């Protein structure tokens, strides 16, 4: 592989769709490059650890940084005994929770002040580290749960409200701790990890192609984004090329997934703000959309449609016509409903200025995806680092400067229209050719994949290992960054507005907890 | 407002006929009969996500859209297990959800009918028992009805609800 010198260190250019370089760094370069990235408006894409002691490399900590025109995968050698790495949460606040998770899973310390467990509750003991290669206690009875020290707010009239892990509706499990005076929220602290299923460990028991099914079942509402990001990483690792037709069909599937989720969210937001009509209407539009998915691709949520090397389903002329007609009907229906929602004073009163995240906050906290765009940050992998088919379609990045619930609704509306445009463009220019390319998944050493899912950038890193395990997979959901923003968005808002604000973010639990 | 009303009229009634009831095991059948006997032909369901990927939840949400007419059949989701006739559990049961699941089960009134929804909840999913996951719902609480699928279609979920509410109408094994 080609090596280049960039940022004064020697880097190796990685295969694949992303302009990515990899380098091994010492402690000062580790922090300096993070600082450089932060100062030039870049962001942290992911941060994780691995146990490379079997290969004689000790524990490793990896960070992936996104600069304006390239990606940097930094690997820091954390040592064998008492492994540790330099804290970067002062530069990227979004690094704090991944750093705590690295300790929970591998026992590598970061030197940050916050040493509370993050993914570990009571399922394994503080002296067990499940991602270590010699962790051999596969089944441990659920232990006694240690009390979790929330950072409390004290003062006259301050009241504490705990919610979850089981919520009142059909929602994924997580705990929210509010500190309030009257109805006003002074502080919110999240506690996640309830749905931690040991997914990264589970990947070790599958071959790379088999792992695609697991990747598709980490976070069902983003199954296309996950399967595509995973496949992209596998393809980068083994240097396999994907036929054009497959790339275009992947784009179509991803945009269908985006529209399905946006329709559902706009309906739910309208319901949370007291307009049940919106919920009824948008839920029906979504249902029809899902039924088309089932008819043409065999699954309502498009699971198992993307595989390493390409896609599973082809499209007949009849299906193409069906989708084209459906897009036209949907566009009209959404327009009509948007007018009603925009004109509804009661609804707008709830949406406007609620749950505000300023652009400065979004920038400082490393926001990504839809939430970042609704706070004025033009972050969209499809436009920033376009691979096929997006390079040929030139995606228009939708932003809004306000950063409130209304802005997140507006971004969703405009993204539905933009995705409909993309689907039409894909249908009219769909290249001919095979659906799957050959992938020799036995070769290659490392690969990255990243896809702009409806929620934000879904990131996957795969690294081949020489010994016991064939490879290690790391998955990063955009919710890792955006959960932090939610804590800031609710400050000063009312407790009854929390469900609305939370829904306007609609972050992943299972995708985050792994 | 006139636009909203026009849209309501244009939408009309979209609900589809109810799907056939699923087949129940004799135990589930007896529990269903006891429920109907005591409470009549309505069903209150409390859902607990025990580590699901959110796929089953998407279909539970879909079940509430106008197409499936869930509440028209007397079936509704409730906010507390204390108000529920049936506990419906999804996911392979992450160990971190075990104590919350047990609390919900404790709060469920007799006959404590439990429905395991989806391949993961019934132990046929992609997650195995490991340091973080128990493996299936029946390893934690007794399960009466299982609905396979990844995720199960809304009509499959509805079929199970209908079977429970009709358990007094037909003899065991023929529902």
Report the pLDDT value the prediction gives residue B175, as an integer from 0 to 100. 42
pLDDT over 60 at A316, yes or no: yes
B52-75 per-position pLDDT tens digit: 999 999 999 999 999 998 888 889
**Is there a cis peptide before residue A268, judged by omega within 30 degrees of 0?**
no
Average confidence (pLDDT) over A266-276 = 95
Contacting residues for B22 by C-beta, under 8 A, at least 6 apart: B145, B147, B156, B159, B160, B162, B163, B175
C-alpha distances out from residue A508 to A174, A403, B95, Å: 10, 20, 19
A45-85 per-position pLDDT tens digit: 999 999 999 889 999 999 999 998 899 999 999 999 899 99
A421-464 per-position pLDDT tens digit: 999 999 999 999 999 998 887 788 899 999 999 999 999 999 98
Q: Nearest CB to A510: which of B14, B53, B150?
A: B53
Q: Nearest CB to B100: which of A173, A281, A344?
A: A173
Report the pLDDT value the prediction gives residue A468, as an integer from 0 to 100. 55
* CB within 8 Å: B95 and A122: yes
Contacts of A336 in chain B (CB under 8 A): 3, 7
Residues 50-79 on A with a CB inside 8 Å of B are none
B112: left (phi over 0), alpha (psi -120 to 50) or beta: left
- Mean pLDDT computed over every residue of chain A: 93
Report the pLDDT value the prediction gives residue A31, as an integer from 0 to 100. 94
Task: Using pLDDT thresholds of 50, 70 and 90, give the confidence band for residue B24.
Answer: confident
Residue A264 CA to chain centroid, in angstroms? 18
Q: Nearest CB to B66: which of A172, A213, A284?
A: A284
Rounded CA-CA distance A317/A323 in Å is 10
Residue by residue, what is the 3-state secondary structure of A419-464?
HHHHHHHHHHHCCCCCCECCCCCCCCCEEEEEEECCCCEEEEEEEE
Average confidence (pLDDT) over A162-170 = 89
Report the pLDDT value the prediction gives residue A139, as an integer from 0 to 100. 61
Contacting residues for A72 by C-beta, under 8 A, at least 6 apart: A6, A7, A11, A20, A21, A22, A23, A33, A37, A64, A65
**Is there a cis peptide before residue A165, judged by omega within 30 degrees of 0?**
yes
* CB within 8 Å: B131 and A123: yes
Report the pLDDT value the prediction gives residue B174, as an integer from 0 to 100. 45
Report the pLDDT value the prediction gives residue A475, as an integer from 0 to 100. 96
pLDDT over 60 at B173, yes or no: no
Instruction: Tell me which residue of A189, A70, A200 sits closest to A135, measured CA to CA.
Output: A200
Nearest CA in chain A to B120: A217
Share of chain A above pLDDT 70, in %: 97
Q: Nearest CB to B47: which of A170, A286, A510?
A: A170
Task: Using pLDDT thresholds of 50, 70 and 90, give the confidence band for residue A1.
Answer: low
pLDDT over 70 at B169, yes or no: no
Is residue A320 a contact partner of residue A429, using CB atoms and an 8 Å limit? no
Rounded CA-CA distance A184/A180 in Å is 5
ipTM value > 0.90: yes
Determine the residue among B82, B126, B141 to mutate to test chain A binding: the one whose Cβ has the most chain A Cβ atoms within 10 Å.
Answer: B126
Task: Using pLDDT thresholds of 50, 70 and 90, give the confidence band for residue B17.
Answer: confident
Average confidence (pLDDT) over A18-40 = 92
Task: Using pLDDT thresholds of 50, 70 and 90, give the confidence band for residue A86.
Answer: very high
Report the pLDDT value the prediction gives residue A141, as an integer from 0 to 100. 60
């Amino acid at each position: 592989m080609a090596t280049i010198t960039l940022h004064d260190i020697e880097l190796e250019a990685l295969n694949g769709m992303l302009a990515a370089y990899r380098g091994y760094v010492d402690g000062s370069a580790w922090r300096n490059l993070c600082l450089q990235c932060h100062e030039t408006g870049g962001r942290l894409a992911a941060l994780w650890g691995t146990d490379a002691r079997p290969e004689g490399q000790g524990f490793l900590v990896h960070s992936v940084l996104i600069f304006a025109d390239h990606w940097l995968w930094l690997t820091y050698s954390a040592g064998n005994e008492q492994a540790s790495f330099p804290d970067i949460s002062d530069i990227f606040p979004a690094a704090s929770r991944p750093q705590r998770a690295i300790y929970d899973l591998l026992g590598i310390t970061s030197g940050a002040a916050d040493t509370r467990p993050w993914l570990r509750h009571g399922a394994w003991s503080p002296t067990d580290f499940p991602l270590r290669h010699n962790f051999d206690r596969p089944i441990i009875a659920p232990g006694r749960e240690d009390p979790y020290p929330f950072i409390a707010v004290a003062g006259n009239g301050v009241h504490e409200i705990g919610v979850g892990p089981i919520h009142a509706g059909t929602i994924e499990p997580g705990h929210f701790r509010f500190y309030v005076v009257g109805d006003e929220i002074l502080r919110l602290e999240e506690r996640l990890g309830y749905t931690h299923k040991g997914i990264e460990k589970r990947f070790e028991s599958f071959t790379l192609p088999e792992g695609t099914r697991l990747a598709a079942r980490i976070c069902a509402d983003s199954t296309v984004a996950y399967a595509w990001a995973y496949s992209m990483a596998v393809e980068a690792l083994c240097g396999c090329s994907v036929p054009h037709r497959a790339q275009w069909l992947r784009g179509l599937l991803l945009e269908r997934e985006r529209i399905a989720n946006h329709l559902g969210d706009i309906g739910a937001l309208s319901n949370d703000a007291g307009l049940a009509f919106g919920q009824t209407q948008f839920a029906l539009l979504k249902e029809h959309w899902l039924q088309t998915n089932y008819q043409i691709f065999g699954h309502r949520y498009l699971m198992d449609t993307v595989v390493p090397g390409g896609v599973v389903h082809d499209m007949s002329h009849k299906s193409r016509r069906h989708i084209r007609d459906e897009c036209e009907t949907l566009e009209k229906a959404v327009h009509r409903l948007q007018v009603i929602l925009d004109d509804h004073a009661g609804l707008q009163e709830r949406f406007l200025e609620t749950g505000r995240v300023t652009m400065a906050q979004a920038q400082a906290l490393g926001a990504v995806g839809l939430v970042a765009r609704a706070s004025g940050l033009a972050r969209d992998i499809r436009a920033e680092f376009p691979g096929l088919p997006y390079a040929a379609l030139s995606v228009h990045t939708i932003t809004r400067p306000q950063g409130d619930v209304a802005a997140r609704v507006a971004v969703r509306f405009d993204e539905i229209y933009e995705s409909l445009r993309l689907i039409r463009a894909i249908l009219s220019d769909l290249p001919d050719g095979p659906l799957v390319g050959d992938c020799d998944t036995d070769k290659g050493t490392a690969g990255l994949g990243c896809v702009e899912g409806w929620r934000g950038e879904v990131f996957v890193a795969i690294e081949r290992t020489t010994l016991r395990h064939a490879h290690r997979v790391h998955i990063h959901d955009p919710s890792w960054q955006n959960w932090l923003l939610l804590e800031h968005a609710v400050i000063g808002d009312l407790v009854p507005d929390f469900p609305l604000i939370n829904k306007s973010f609609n972050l992943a639990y299972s995708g985050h907890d792994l | 407002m006139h636009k909203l009303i026009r849209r309501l009229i244009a939408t009309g009634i979209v609900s589809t006929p109810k799907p056939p009831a699923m087949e129940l095991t004799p135990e589930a059948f007896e529990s269903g009969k006891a429920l109907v006997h005591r409470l009549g032909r309505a069903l209150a369901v409390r859902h607990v996500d025990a580590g699901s990927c959110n796929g089953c939840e998407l279909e539970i949400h879909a079940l509430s859209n106008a197409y499936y007419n869930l509440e028209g059949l007397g079936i509704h989701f409730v906010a507390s297990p204390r108000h529920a006739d049936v506990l419906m559990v999804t996911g392979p049961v992450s160990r971190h959800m075990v104590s919350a699941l047990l609390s919900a089960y404790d709060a469920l009134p007799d006959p404590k009918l439990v429905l395991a929804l989806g391949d993961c909840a019934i132990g046929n999913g992609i997650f195995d028992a490991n340091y973080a996951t128990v493996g299936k719902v029946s390893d934690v609480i007794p399960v009466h009805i299982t609905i396979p699928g990844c995720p199960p279609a809304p009509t499959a979920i509805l079929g199970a609800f209908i079977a429970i509410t009709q358990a007094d109408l037909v003899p065991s094994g023929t529902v």
